[in-house]
Structure formats: structure tokens, C-alpha cells
Structure 1
Amino acid sequence: MRSARRALSLGTAGSAALGAAQQFRPVAAGGAGVFVFFTISGYLISQSFETTPSPLVFLAKRALRIFPGLLGCLLVCVFAIGPLVTTLPLGEYLASPETYRFLLHNVVLDVDYNRLPGVVFWPGNIGGIVNGPLWSLPCEALLYLMLFGLGVCRLLSLPVILLLLSAGIACLWLDTAGTTFGSALWLLGFFAAGMVLYRLRGPRTFAWYWAVLALIGLALSIPARLFLVGFPLFGSYL
């Protein structure tokens, strides 16, 4: 629990640092939250795998982490928010196959199917997207499976995780975000940063002088226009 609280406090501080620097780098507040979330996730999921006696139990815990909440969220979107917002008559909305396709596709993480019939929140192409943040769930699931595979193969070592961090930073530099797999690679650096912090956890790792160095590194990344690329290295520590 102490490690979890430490990870959460680090993530909160990192979010504040990222928010303060948004004027220098066009990173939306929602994006900042995603970066911090995946850093915390990398830390806590590493802890979960290490402390769970069975890989199958780990997978079950991860499924329970995602799917019950997802199903509840989708039911609210389809049967509570949708009927209130749709421009269609209620009977037509409930009779439309598209209403139930949205539910069935998204519950299996096919989040590209993101519109409900007649539901438009504001004009424009993205104004009809229902619960846009669901895009991150397939990425989260892929990263869970990556960690699971590495753990089963006994490859959750610091050199391997540092290699993942390097690959994730490269994907940020190349801006691979777009497809689900590309977005997962784009988020890999943040997730791997959390994995590194868990692997190096201890009083000597979480010390004020490292925090000062991380803050300096993050500050220097702003004029260099490398804030986003530098965040997994520096911001994730804060």
C-alpha cells in the first residue's frame, strides 16, 4: 500500500508539472492525465504481477479491472445519456441496430465504433463521438498483455524495461499515435517509465535531489521543444 500511495503522489505531482508547462507545449489537459495515468499504471501493474502468485490470477484481475466498469459505463451511455441527447424519437433510437452495435463493439474494446444514432453533442466531426476517452482502453489492455508476456518469460528485468522505455520515447519522437497499436506504442514510454520506477523503488530512488534533477531536465526540455519526449524521463519521476 505504501508503494501504491507513493506512486499516486508521484503521478499527481507529475500532472501538476505537466499542466504548468502546457503553455510551452500544446498538450491538452486530457492528454496530460492520460500520460500520468499510464505512468502510474506501469508502476502498479508491475507491482500486481510481482505480488500475484499465478499468472492466470493476474489476467483475471486485469480483466476485472477493465470489463465490469466498462460495461457499466456503456450501459449508462446507451440507455441513460443516449435517450436524453439523441435527436431521434425514443422508440426509433431504441429500435436502431446501431444503438446495440455501439454496446457490443465497445464491450470487446472495438472502440472505433463510437457513435450512437442521433447523438451529437456539438457540430463538427468529433461532436458525435460518445465517450471519447474509451480510445485508451485497448492500449491499456495491450500494455497489460505485454507485461504479462514478459513476466511469464521471466524478462521483467531492468535492462529489458529500459529498452522498452527507449522504444517508447522513440515512438513519441516518431509520433506513432493513430491506430490502436500505434497509440499503444505512443503510450509505451509512459507505461515503461512507471515500470522502471517500480523496479528501482526504494528510499534512495525517491529522494529530493533526484526530484530537483528531474525538474531541471523537464524545464530544459521546454525550450528544446522536447517536452513531450522528455516527459517519460523526467516528468514521470515528479
Structure 2
Amino acid sequence: MLGRPQFLDPHGDAMLPSARQVGRRAVTAVPLSNAYAGRANSFGFLRLCFAVAVVLAHTAVIGYARPLTEVVDVAGLGVAGFFGISGFLITRSARRASLPRYLWHRALRIWPGLWVCLLFISFVVAPIVWYAERGDLDGLWRHPAGVVNFLQANWWGGYRQQGIMDVFRDTPYGDLVRRSVLDGSLWTLSYEIFCYLIVASLAVVAVLRRARWLVLAAAVLVFGLLLWNQYEALRFGGSTYFTSGSIGTLPLLGALSKIWFLRFGFMFLVGAVADLYSDKLPISDVLGVLAIVVTGWQTLEGHLFGPALLAYEYAILYLAVRLPRLLHVVGQKNDYSYGIYIYSFVVQQMLAWLGAAAWGFVGYFAVVMVFTVVLAFLSWHLVEKQALRFKDWTPRFRRGAPPAEASGERQPEPERVPVPATADASAPRG
């Protein structure tokens, strides 16, 4: 009996799978633990896409004082994606490293790049704008809203002072929010750092190793809060107690908005569950396409930041392991997404101050990307990459301790996880 014809290469091997094989692959589910293999994934590509999405959304807000679209929160979509990836990779790192090593890796990934960015803003951008507008630098440094306080307030990741004096007050975005805002993207760093600390606390009490069901239970509980909040918003047009106001004032980080912590925290939490249950989480084309459709539908309806976040997280994981292998190399050796994240906002403000928005949306966005990528390139090669060279450094008093293998711990796999960014939460979001 003749079989189904196939296209053959010159050596006689089948090149294209039959329709039956394609269909079988579409409905066949494999555990995420099998589909995800070390660096053979597209997380780097997705992070870069999320970073560009944030820049695109901010281009409209910063240059023209209007959202990119009235329906879709493009910046929020990108930031939530960052948190979803971070939850998966950071939890994996915490399970495979000792607590000091985990905290050291997180500090190296966040702070050196942030510190240089803050110094660049404080001693390059702000003085240039201040001097150009006033002809001197008087009052820029020691004023309560000056450079010194700006550095002190934001040094550890809490964006507690948004501007320096009246720098960029006359830009379209400055007129919109009626204050100086130098790098509004930094406000999500405190949420990311807080999530890191939560994972660290779970590692300390051995929840990640011995009671992963508690993390799953927490995800179910938070998902219930999202459902409740969505119901309240649709029925009464308001939010619940659990999403109104802020979470106190945390040392160094400041206050966290309850609603954004719920949304970003849920994405991080579901990413953590995906890692902890990667041996049981099925990945299939049918579920992946369904998750993408649900995410797109709810996003266009303006309801992404509700139960649809669950579908969004699955779509991210699906794309990470199913996108073409050609994309796996993006971000593996040189990860510019964090640099794009922390520098894009101040670049957009500077160019808007210089009048570049008059070149039209496409021209303004293009020149913003050029300068942002240059700064991200420099940030990675001169700061971030150099800092990561110290990831295996051990204090002298601990050098005589037994290695991780001897203590029953596995060494962490090399990984780089950037932190998300978006505009100031109090400003209109696009």
C-alpha cells in the first residue's frame, strides 16, 4: 500500500511533515520541564519585545501627552510580561542557589546599572537642562528637590523622588503631570525587588523545596482576588479594599500601589508556580493558541489586568519554548533589554525638551530608539556585564565553606533577568 506522499531532500529524507504529523503535534502536550531546556528558549527575544513596547507606548505619552491607544495599555502589557518571565526564572534561580548567592546575583543584576543611570541623570542630563534654561547651576544640588536628595531617595530602587527641581517641567509630559519627572520607568523597580525578597523568604523557610503547594495556593488566592476585583469593577465601576490605596511605606522602596502589586505580583507568582510545577504543566499548540487568543481578546476589551493574566502567562511560556530556534540567540550573550528599560524614558524627555516630537511620531520614535539603544549598549558592556563577572565572588570568611554540591545544593545555571519598566503610575497609561 502506498503511503502519504512527502517532499524529499536530495538524500531521500522527508523534509516536510505530513498534515497528520502536524495535527498530532498540535494536540500533543509535553511537560514544560521537557519543553524548556536551558538557554534553548526565546525569553531574551520576548524581553526585548516587551522593552520596545514600553518605549513605543511612552513615545505617545511623553512626546504628545496622549496615550498610544485609548483601549490597550501597551506599556502595562509589556511590564506584566517582564514580571511573568521574572517569576519563572527567578524562582528557578532561588531553588538552585544558596540564599546569599541568590541575593548577590539579584543585587548585581539590578543595582550597578541603576546606579550609573541615576548618576547620568543627576550629573549629565539635569545640569545640562538646568544650565541651558538659567545660565548657572545655582540651587541644583542641595535643594530638597535637588540632585543629592534625588540620588538618596532612588538609590536602592524605590522611585521616591521623581524629578529634580523643575527639570523637564516644560515638556509635553511635564505639562501633563505638572511636575518634573526624569525617569518614570523606574517606578516598577520597587515591585520587582519586593518580589525578589518574597522569593528569598520562601527559600529560607524551604517552601520552594518542600511545600510548593503553598505557592500554588497563594496563586489561587490571588487569582480569586483578581476575579473579585474584576466583578466589582464591572458591576460598580470601583475597586475593592484589597486594591485601593497603597501598601504602607517600605524601607528604601517607599509605598506600593495595591492594585499594581496585585497585578504584577500575580504574574510573578504564576511564573513561580510554572517553575515549581514545570513537570506537570502541559505545553501544547492548542492551549498556546487558545491562550494567545484569550489574551488578545481581553486586551482589546480593556480587561487584561484581571483573570486574563493567567492566559497571558501561559502564552508567554508557550512562545518562549515554541518560537523558532533562530530567536533563541537574542539576549543570550548581550542582554540590552534592561538598559533600554532604564534609559528610554529620560532619552524621550530629553529629546522632547529639544523639540524632536515636531518630527512626527515615527521620526521621534526612531531617534529615541537610536539614542536609547546606544545607551543600553554602553550600559550592558561597560556596567552590567562587568558587574556580572563578580557573580561567583565569595567573601574571604566563606571561602573555606564546603561547596554547594557537598551541602546538597545545586549550582545555579547562568541567567540574566532584566526588570520591567513603564510610565509613572499616576500618569495616563498608554
TM bin (shorter chain): 0.7 to 0.9
Determine the C-alpha separation between the residues in 1 that align with 2:49 and 2:129.
36
Aligned counterpart for 1:84 among listed residues 120, 124, 128:
128
Identical-pair percentage: 24
Aligned counterpart for 2:111 among listed residues 67, 87, 108:
67
Determine the C-alpha separation between the residues in 2 that align with 1:140 and 1:103.
19
Please say if 1:185 is aligned against 2:233. Answer: no
Q: Which residue identity is paired with 1:6?
A: N
Classify the secondary structure of the residue corresponding to 2:196.
helix
Q: Which residue identity is paired with 1:234?
A: A
Aligned counterpart for 2:101 among listed residues 43, 46, 57:
57
Q: Offset of 1:61 from its aligned partner?
A: 1.3
Determine the C-alpha separation between the residues in 1 that align with 2:193 and 2:280.
31
Determine the C-alpha separation between the residues in 1 that align with 2:45 and 2:278.
12
Determine the C-alpha separation between the residues in 2 that align with 1:99 and 1:207.
52
- Contact kept, 8 Å, 1:43 with 1:194, in 2: the verdict is yes
- Contact kept, 8 Å, 1:215 with 1:235, in 2: the verdict is yes
Determine the C-alpha separation between the residues in 1 that align with 2:275 and 2:109.
20
- Contact kept, 8 Å, 2:72 with 2:302, in 1: the verdict is no
Determine the C-alpha separation between the residues in 1 that align with 2:69 and 2:129.
37
Determine the C-alpha separation between the residues in 1 that align with 2:152 and 2:48.
38
Aligned counterpart for 2:190 among listed residues 127, 131, 138:
138
Please say if 1:159 is aligned against 2:213. Answer: yes
- Contact kept, 8 Å, 1:78 with 1:99, in 2: the verdict is yes
Structure 1 segment 1-238 matched on structure 2, within 5 A: 2-3=37-38, 5-6=40-41, 8=43, 11=46, 26-52=71-97, 54-86=98-130, 87-92=133-138, 94-97=140-143, 98-120=146-168, 121-122=171-172, 123-125=175-177, 128-156=180-208, 157-169=211-223, 170-171=225-226, 173=230, 174=239, 176=243, 179=246, 180-181=255-256, 182=258, 183-201=260-278, 205-218=282-295, 221=298, 226-238=303-315
Q: Which residue identity is paired with 2:41?
A: R
- Contact kept, 8 Å, 2:288 with 2:314, in 1: the verdict is yes
Number of residue pairs the alignment of both structures matches: 234
TM-score (norm 2): 0.48
Determine the C-alpha separation between the residues in 1 that align with 2:48 and 2:128.
38
- Contact kept, 8 Å, 1:193 with 1:232, in 2: the verdict is no
Q: Which 10-residue stretch deviates more, 217-226 or 147-156?
A: 217-226
- Contact kept, 8 Å, 2:127 with 2:137, in 1: the verdict is no
Structure 1 pair 154–204 and aligned structure 2 pair: CA distance change class (3 A)? closer
Q: Offset of 1:237 from its aligned partner?
A: 1.4
Q: 5+ unaligned residues in a row in structure 1: which ranges?
A: none
Q: Which residue identity is paired with 2:176?
A: G
Determine the C-alpha separation between the residues in 2 that align with 1:200 and 1:88.
59
Task: Kindly provide the CA deviation profile for residues 1-33 of structure 1, in whole angstroms up to 9, marking residues without a partner as x.
Answer: 944553616946996xx99xxx99834222111
In angstroms, what is the RMSD of aligned CA positions? 3.4
Structure 1 pair 134–13 and aligned structure 2 pair: CA distance change class (3 A)? closer
Q: Offset of 1:65 from its aligned partner?
A: 1.7
- Contact kept, 8 Å, 2:84 with 2:270, in 1: the verdict is yes
Task: Kindly provide the CA deviation profile for residues 108-129 of structure 1, in whole angstroms up to 9, marking residues without a partner as x.
Answer: 3331211112202331325521
Determine the C-alpha separation between the residues in 2 that align with 1:166 and 1:89.
58
Determine the C-alpha separation between the residues in 1 that align with 2:140 and 2:47.
41
Q: Name the structure, 1 or 2, with higher relative contact order (CA <8 Å, separation 6+).
A: 2
Q: Which residue identity is paired with 1:57?
A: R
Determine the C-alpha separation between the residues in 1 that align with 2:278 and 2:195.
21
Task: Kindly provide the CA deviation profile for residues 115-170 of structure 1, in whole angstroms up to 9, marking residues without a partner as x.
Answer: 11220233132552110111111111110011111111122244322233234442
Structure 1 pair 224–26 and aligned structure 2 pair: CA distance change class (3 A)? closer
Q: Which 10-residue stretch deviates more, 200-209 or 92-101?
A: 200-209
TM-score (norm 1): 0.81
- More helix as a share of residues: 1
Classify the secondary structure of the residue corresponding to 1:26.
coil
Q: 5+ unaligned residues in a row in structure 2: which ranges?
A: 1-35, 55-67, 231-238, 247-254, 316-430
Q: Which residue identity is paired with 1:164?
A: A
